[in-house]
């Protein structure tokens, strides 16, 4: 069983403000509590895979500030290899997050060092990881970096998973290097220009070379095949904070694929881990049992 996963992507320090109602334009409100935690979509996905037992390597770029060393220690403490983390002068990424009483969030990502990740160094790192089975990426680092790295990985027969978040249009050429495209509902609408329904999902799948799996929040996920869709229901849970749920899904799905689980079992595991994560506050902290 080969469970070697590499995640290339962002690392941020999450800054949570919990409030009953998100303030309107020009409005000041009192919040309930404030917390900081480790985040970044790439880091979150790597942590979930590492917690599940995958041999996980993180390729990310950190700054020269106080957040960098603590981020590295957090990776180590959660089973993620840090040998290929890049460093630059300047600030690491941060993400102020507002969470309302329904558990819904608003997030501002300030990339910092994430924008300075070096594609050639990343490819050199991947070359050094023997028997790598899965590469995972997202849109929180420059897409030209993803393009080079995913092309290299696909040519090496490494299974590639791409989570197009934050949502943006994707080049057709890039999708040639993506085995699994996994957007959420909003991201699907941005990429495809269509609402999520069975007909639109099937039509879009016909337009792309990638396998398509769409996450649906509390409604689970849907696997899109050539002429059909297969829904995977999520368990009913008490929602506290939805931050990082999509990343929990991606990390768990990557683990399932890398550990030779069936496709359906991998999706079921991903839905389960994402659903559990929303029952606790925080991002990576919500992945812990």
For residue 16, being part of any structural domain is answered with: no
pLDDT score of 250: 98
Section 248-267 average pLDDT: 95
Section 48-62 average pLDDT: 96
If one compares 12 and 261, the residue with the highest pLDDT of the two is 12
**131 in active site:** no
For residue 271, being part of any structural domain is answered with: yes
Is the pTM higher than 0.75? The answer reads yes
For residue 221, being part of any structural domain is answered with: yes
For residue 99, being part of any structural domain is answered with: no
Per residue in 156-166, pLDDT (tens digit) is: 999 999 999 99
Total domain count for the chain? 1
Of 32, 65, 233, 247, catalytic? 247
Domain residue limits at 122: 4-11+41-91+114-283
Q: Which residues contact 119 (CB under 8 A, 6 or more apart)?
A: 144, 145, 148, 149
For residue 71, being part of any structural domain is answered with: yes
DSSP state of 184: B
The token duo for 136 is: 């995972």
Name residue, tokens 């680092």: 141
Q: What is the CATH number for 171?
A: 3.40.1190.20
The token duo for 172 is: 């057709």
For residue 75, being part of any structural domain is answered with: yes
pLDDT score of 249: 98
Is pLDDT of 2 > 90?
no
Is pLDDT of 53 > 80?
yes
135 conformational bin, left if phi > 0, alpha if psi -120 to 50, beta if neither = beta
Angle between helix 245-258 and 41-51 (nearest 10) = 50
Q: Where are the alpha helices (DSSP H) in the chain?
A: 41-51, 66-77, 119-128, 143-155, 172-175, 185-192, 198-207, 245-258, 263-277
For residue 19, being part of any structural domain is answered with: no
Contact in structure between 4 and 81 (CB atoms under 8 Å): no
For residue 87, being part of any structural domain is answered with: yes
Is pLDDT of 238 > 60?
yes
């Amino acid at each position: 069983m080969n469970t070697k996963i590499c995640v290339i992507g962002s690392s941020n320090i999450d800054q949570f403000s919990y409030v009953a109602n998100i303030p309107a334009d020009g409005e000041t409100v009192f919040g309930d509590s404030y917390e900081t935690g480790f985040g970044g979509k790439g880091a979150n996905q790597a942590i979930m895979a590492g917690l599940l037992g995958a041999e996980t390597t993180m390729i990310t770029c950190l700054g020269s500030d106080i957040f960098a060393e603590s981020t590295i220690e957090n990776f180590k403490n959660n089973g993620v290899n840090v040998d290929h983390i890049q460093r630059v002068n300047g600030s690491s990424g941060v993400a102020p997050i507002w969470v309302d009483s329904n558990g819904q969030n608003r997030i501002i990502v300030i990339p910092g060092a994430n924008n300075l990740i070096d594609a050639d160094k990343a490819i050199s790192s991947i070359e050094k990881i023997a028997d790598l089975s899965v590469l995972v990426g997202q849109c929180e680092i420059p897409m030209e970096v993803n393009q080079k790295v995913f092309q290299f990985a696909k040519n090496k027969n490494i299974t590639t998973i791409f989570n197009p978040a934050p949502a943006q249009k994707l080049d057709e050429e890039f999708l040639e290097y993506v085995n699994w495209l996994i957007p959420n509902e909003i991201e699907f609408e941005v990429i495809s220009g269509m609402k999520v329904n069975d007909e639109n999902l099937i039509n879009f799948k016909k337009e792309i070379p990638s396998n398509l799996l769409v996450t649906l929040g509390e409604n689970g996920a849907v696997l899109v095949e050539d002429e059909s869709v297969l829904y995977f229901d999520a368990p009913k849970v008490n929602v506290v904070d939805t931050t990082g749920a999509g990343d929990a899904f991606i990390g768990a799905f990557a683990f399932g694929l890398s550990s030779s689980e069936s496709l359906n079992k991998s999706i079921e595991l991903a839905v389960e881990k994402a659903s559990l994560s929303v029952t606790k506050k925080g991002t990576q902290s919500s992945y812990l049992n």
